[in-house]
């Protein structure tokens, strides 16, 4: 590519062009200058760091020739886009290494993902751990060769002939689905050729640290009717220190895995006998769920919500009116025939809340109306997408719909945002990522409605004095929204709260209220989920706290540990006093030694352990041990009740 550009420069009488930088500054460069050359003109350090670039908003390779005045943004690895391009390039490098070691293997697709990349291969023999070690070593060898990523554009027929001659049938199939007039590009590094839109890093030498993580099976194009392929996952970084940190965090994430902790603490299970993606809440988990729901109810009443309950199924006509059967059918289960009519398991609660609103005429004096429900919904997820509590097929959503007049919008959005953050903080979450998603190209509702709703969301965020990012065009087709994600100790983000406008359903269902002018008006409606799916929230809660839950949430807050059987009677009197005070307590009546009982209580992550023996019984005290902190000393039962109740009240 460089030589072609140089020839072009030599053969033409080139003029200067103006390049505008993100800070507004401009500078002249020769026509056909590349992003890499622009970076080099600033500093050699920047040139080493640049991964890709945006030229007039389009993402391009670093050796892309810029032929006219343009705005440029140089992208480094520390950005999401930089990581995406870097990891996509590493996926190509992995495919090259695989075919070098296993020449009969066919390649399919290899995208970047949230953390790293994968590539799917057609091979009759699954890859082993030893194979991964060999592939990783080959990747490192190829990286050191500084193989340049070179882009070439072809016609669709030329590309199909190329990959047919190579025996790459999957690439041919992909090309068959691309319109004939689309631009087709291939990328080459060394002797490896791949069908790809790009962009890519400048050369393989940019890839400094690589780790292949695991393999799994994956159906071609995600269709269970197609052939099972072999998928290899990996991660890469421009610095070995970053890889070491990532692998450390990965090990820590395994320790926090909600599926492992859920089993250890006997919180929940998913049984094949019941069905994939359907959660069984065990007593400990059900206790925590009950505590969460009770707190949720109390807070909603305090914030002026009216709680409702709705059925699990509804007539087909309901879902036709809402648009779900037209737009969401693939995520809905097959209909149930009742009295020769079709009913569907509900995928959402919205139409039911609207039906309650429309059960009689509404006056402007009644608004805002705020309905909330812990409503169980059912959505079809492919088996390969299911993941513990995070992706399930039946879940309970903490749904609410705020129905208000336009002039009430600002106050309601602000109150909803405050409520969302207060709820999340009560569960120990402290660090948030907040996004405001605006109007996409295809949308319902007038531009004026979108502007008003977006302004209300923005005003609420600014009033709360919290940082947020704008996701331009990222709103749903039916309205703008605020997404609140929490960040954990490993800097991972978890989706929780959503505040979503809806200009679609009020129109579809003909929602009205009678205004002060005695005329009908269409209200605004805001969908709102504070916790989101209760199952996913519970999984997030487990991983965020690594099972060390705030005291108020723990299913067992105190464990009484008698030194021997003869002190169980005193232990029972302590339990009675704790329970009378509203503290959840149990006693270990096993025949094990006290050291074993302590270890078991620590493994179960019980916040307080009260050890009772002769001395404690005679002094009417307990020897207190705190989980992860060790022995605190001997205290009266009354003192400990006061301490525990104080901590519970503070939601610590």
Catalytic residue among 324, 379, 393, 545: 379
Catalytic residue among 83, 256, 481, 605: 481
Contact 403, 368 (CB under 8 A): yes
Q: Under DSSP, is residue 447 helix (H, G, I), strand (E, B) or coil? A: helix
Catalytic residue among 83, 401, 545, 627: 401
- Distance separating alpha carbons of residues 347 and 123, to the nearest angstrom: 38
Give 181-185 contacts, CB < 8 A, sequence gap 24+. 182/156, 183/153, 184/153, 184/154, 184/155, 184/156, 184/158, 184/159, 185/151, 185/152, 185/153, 185/154
- 300 labelled catalytic: no
Cα 42 to chain centroid, rounded: 37
Contact 427, 393 (CB under 8 A): no
- Distance separating alpha carbons of residues 492 and 485, to the nearest angstrom: 9
The strand pairing partners of 192, in sequence order, are: 189
Q: Helices marked H in 303-408 — which ranges?
A: 316-322, 324-327, 350-357
Tokens at 330, concatenated:
């693939």
Catalytic residue among 61, 399, 483, 488: 399
Catalytic residue among 83, 527, 536, 627: 527
Catalytic residue among 99, 189, 230, 397: 397
Tokens at 626, concatenated:
């705190």
DSSP 606: -
Q: Distance of CA 243 to CAs 48, 104, 203, 579, 604, Å? A: 18, 31, 20, 49, 33
- Distance separating alpha carbons of residues 387 and 384, to the nearest angstrom: 8
- 379 labelled catalytic: yes
- Distance separating alpha carbons of residues 239 and 196, to the nearest angstrom: 26
Q: Under DSSP, is residue 223 helix (H, G, I), strand (E, B) or coil? A: coil
Q: Which helix (H) or strand (E) holds 45?
A: helix 44-49
Cα 299 to chain centroid, rounded: 26
- 481 labelled catalytic: yes
Strands 558-562 and 608-612 turn out to be parallel
Q: What is the CA radius of gyration of the chain?
A: 30
Catalytic residue among 61, 206, 324, 350: 350
Cβ-based neighbours of 361, under 8 Å, separated by 6 or more: 512, 514
CA dihedral (14, 15, 19, 25) positive or negative: positive
Cis amide linkage into residue 278, ω under 30° from 0:
no
- 156 labelled catalytic: no
- 527 labelled catalytic: yes
Q: Which helix (H) or strand (E) holds 92?
A: helix 80-101
Active site residues: 350, 379, 397, 399, 401, 481, 527
């Amino acid at each position: 590519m460089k030589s072609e550009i140089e020839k072009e420069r030599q053969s033409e009488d080139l003029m200067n062009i103006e390049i505008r930088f993100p800070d507004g500054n401009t500078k002249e460069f020769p026509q056909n200058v590349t992003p890499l050359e622009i970076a080099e003109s600033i500093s050699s350090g920047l040139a080493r760091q640049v991964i890709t670039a945006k030229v007039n908003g389009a993402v391009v390779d670093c050796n892309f020739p810029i032929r006219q005045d343009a705005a440029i943004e140089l992208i480094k690895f520390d950005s999401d886009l930089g990581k995406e391009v870097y990891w996509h390039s590493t996926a190509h490098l992995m495919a090259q290494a695989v075919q070098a070691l296993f020449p009969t293997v066919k390649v399919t697709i290899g995208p970047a993902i949230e953390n790293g990349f994968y590539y799917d291969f057609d091979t009759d023999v699954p890859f082993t751990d030893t194979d991964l070690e060999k592939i990783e070593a080959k990747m490192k060898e190829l990286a050191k060769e500084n193989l340049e990523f070179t882009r070439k554009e072809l016609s669709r027929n030329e590309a199909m002939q190329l990959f047919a001659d190579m025996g790459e049938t999957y690439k041919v199939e992909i090309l068959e689905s691309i319109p004939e007039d689309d631009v087709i590009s291939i990328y080459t590094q060394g002797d490896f050729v791949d069908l790809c839109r790009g962009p890519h890093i400048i050369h393989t030498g940019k890839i400094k640290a690589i780790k292949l993580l695991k393999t799994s099976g994956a159906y071609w194009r995600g269709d269970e009717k197609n052939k099972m392929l072999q998928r290899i996952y990996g991660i890469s970084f421009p610095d070995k220190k970053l890889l070491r940190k990532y692998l450390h965090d990965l090990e820590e994430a395994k320790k926090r895995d909600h599926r492992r902790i859920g089993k250890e603490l006997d919180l929940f299970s998913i049984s094949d006998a019941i069905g994939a993606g359907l959660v069984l809440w065990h007593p400990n988990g059900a206790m925590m769920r009950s505590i969460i729901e009770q707190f949720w109810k109390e807070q909603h009443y305090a914030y002026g919500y009216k709680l409702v309950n709705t059925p699990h199924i509804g007539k087909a006509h309901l879902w036709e009116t809402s648009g779900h059967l037209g737009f969401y059918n693939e995520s809905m289960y097959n209909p149930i025939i009742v009295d020769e009519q079709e009913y569907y398991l509900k995928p959402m609660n919205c139409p039911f809340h609207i039906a309650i609103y429309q059960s009689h005429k509404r006056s402007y004096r009644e608004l805002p109306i705020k309905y909330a429900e812990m409503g169980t919904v059912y959505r079809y997820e492919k088996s390969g997408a299911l993941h513990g509590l995070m992706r399930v097929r039946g879940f309970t959503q903490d749904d609410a719909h705020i129905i208000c007049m336009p002039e009430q919008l600002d106050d309601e959005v602000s109150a909803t945002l405050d409520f969302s953050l207060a709820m999340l903080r009560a569960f120990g979450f402290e660090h948030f990522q907040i996004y405001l998603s605006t109007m996409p190209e295809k949308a319902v509702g007038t531009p004026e409605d979108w502007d008003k709703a977006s302004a209300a969301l923005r005003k609420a965020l600014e009033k709360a004095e919290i940082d947020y990012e704008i996701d331009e065009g990222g709103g749903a087709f039916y309205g703008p929204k605020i997404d609140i994600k929490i960040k954990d100790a490993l800097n991972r983000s978890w989706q929780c709260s959503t505040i979503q406008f809806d200009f679609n359903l009020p129109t579809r269902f003909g929602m009205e209220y009678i205004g002060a002018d005695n005329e009908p008006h269409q209200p605004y409606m805001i969908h709102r989920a504070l916790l989101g799916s209760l199952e996913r929230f519970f999984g997030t809660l487990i991983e965020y706290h690594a099972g060390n839950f705030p005291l108020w949430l723990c299913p067992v807050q105190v464990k009484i540990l008698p030194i021997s059987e003869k002190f169980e009677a005193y232990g029972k009197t302590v339990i009675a006093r704790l329970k009378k005070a509203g503290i959840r307590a149990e006693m270990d009546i096993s025949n094990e030694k006290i050291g074993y009982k302590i270890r078991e209580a620590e493994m179960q992550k019980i916040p307080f352990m009260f050890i009772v023996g002769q001395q404690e019984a005679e002094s009417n005290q307990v020897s207190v041990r705190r989980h992860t902190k060790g022995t605190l000393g001997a205290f009266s039962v009354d003192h400990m009740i006061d301490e525990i109740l104080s901590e519970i009240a503070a939601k610590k």
